Amino acid sequence: MNLELTRQKITDLGVCVIIPTYNNQHTLKRVINGVLELTNNLIVVNDGSTDTTSSILKAYPNIQQVHFPENKGKGVALREGFKHAISLGYKFAITIDSDGQHFPNDIPHFINELEQNQAKDILIIGARNMSHESVPGKSSFGNKFSNFWFWVETGIKLQDTQSGFRLYPLNVLKKLNFYTTKFEFEIEVIVKTAWKDVEVKNIPIQVLYDESERVSHFRPFKDFTRISILNTWLVFLTAIYYFPKRLLKIIKKKGLKRFLIEDLLGSNDSPKKKALSIALGTFIGFSPLWGFHTFLVITLAVFLKLNKAIAFAFSNVSLPPFIPFIIFASLELGQWVLGEKISYSIEEMTTDFEALKHLKTYLVGSFTLATIGALVFGFTGFVFFSFFNKKNMALKND
């Protein structure tokens, strides 16, 4: 590794290193010295440490320092570090933890990856070898949990979403709004960055968990609960906003005809999987779960590993112009299933609908309609896609 060349690249690319720290007196100095071998573009954020951190930092008067009078959380420390880096004119920030688990000599790998992707914004996360004998079991489980939800929320599969060793594009971050303050911030920031169509990728890094000197401030119950609440909210936003927005963007870019041919008809999914996706979307669309259709169909499509685009498209059988007809069909079916006769008018259906009076009939009829619709649309889709696949194979063989 050519140190002078690396130092020059860091300067030319407008990169700084941010170290958030809280009571890591045993490892902080080693991490700082390791970074300074590569660059002086260093910002340390002392998050209200009560150990000897302040004394240690007094030995480094030439580096940028931010001190909090009391502990505010890693999320706040990182956000303040980003704000400070932006004010100093940096374009990118590499964050590295102060507990000694990361190796500063991995920084050149981030710089080389950034150099190869200068034409676009990119967020790089150092992927730890989670099978390493020093990695605690709870960290490995938490990482798998986080990776899964990140995929649900963005469609991007990563090996490691929890590593704090990262490179951030500051010009993107300064346009985003963040609300979390603790460890969950590192999830919020990568999800929202990915939603801005920024490439998020992993590169391999070294890792060391030395329990004799490492101090972890992760509180399993409290922080896991906060992360779970955040993921619930992000999945909800994904279903009602991000995924529909992304889908509409694709349709607008390709045009409806090309989208249908390439993304629906031309999908590599089997006719059975496409048909089940249609059935799911139709069932949810006809169901009485108004206000939750998009959230439910996307969430279920993800968990059932079905085609999200097809399921979402067919859930729109309940678009506003069709609602009176759906309610009418539900009431008629409900009467037939229950063997009763009720009296209602078109005016009631489009205004108050006498919801409480006819609720039982409507709910029974609605789920009956949803089941029938799912079977009919799903079977029709299966026949259509099977025929379409055979036709495509025949054309390829010719």
pLDDT of 354 strictly over 80: no
Q: Is residue 372 part of a domain?
A: yes
Boundary-marking domain end, from 188, 208, 238: 238
Q: Is residue 18 part of a domain?
A: yes
Are both 232 and 340 inside the same structural domain?
no
pLDDT band for position 53 (cuts 50, 70, 90): very high
Closest alpha carbon to 13 in 109, 93, 80: 93
Closest alpha carbon to 312 in 299, 323, 325: 299
Are both 37 and 99 inside the same structural domain?
yes
pLDDT of 45 strictly over 90: yes
Are both 79 and 33 inside the same structural domain?
yes
Boundary-marking domain end, from 209, 238, 267: 238
Are both 101 and 128 inside the same structural domain?
yes
Are both 109 and 10 inside the same structural domain?
yes
303: domain range? 255-397
Q: Is residue 250 part of a domain?
A: no
- Burial of residue 156 (CB within 10 Å: 0-12, 13-18, 19+) is middle
Q: Is residue 280 part of a domain?
A: yes
Are both 359 and 388 inside the same structural domain?
yes
Q: Is residue 244 part of a domain?
A: no
* Rounded average pLDDT over 348-367: 68
Proportion of the chain above pLDDT 90, given as a percent: 46
Q: How many domains does the chain have?
A: 2
The pLDDT score that the predictor gives to residue 119 is: 64
Are both 219 and 300 inside the same structural domain?
no
pLDDT of 355 strictly over 50: no
Q: Is residue 285 part of a domain?
A: yes
Least confident of 134-148, 222-236, 333-347: 134-148
Q: What is the CATH number of the domain that holds 139?
A: 3.90.550.10
Boundary-marking domain end, from 238, 267, 295: 238
pLDDT band for position 368 (cuts 50, 70, 90): very high
Are both 203 and 129 inside the same structural domain?
yes
pLDDT of 345 strictly over 60: no
The pLDDT score that the predictor gives to residue 127 is: 93
Are both 262 and 329 inside the same structural domain?
yes
* Rounded average pLDDT over 250-263: 74
Q: How many CA atoms lie within 13 A of 115 on its CB side?
A: 13
Place of tokens 């789920």: 367
Are both 112 and 225 inside the same structural domain?
yes
Q: What amino acid is encoded at 180 in this protein?
A: T
Q: Is residue 105 part of a domain?
A: yes
Q: Is residue 247 part of a domain?
A: no
Are both 229 and 261 inside the same structural domain?
no
pTM as predicted: 0.71
Are both 216 and 259 inside the same structural domain?
no
* Rounded average pLDDT over 190-213: 87
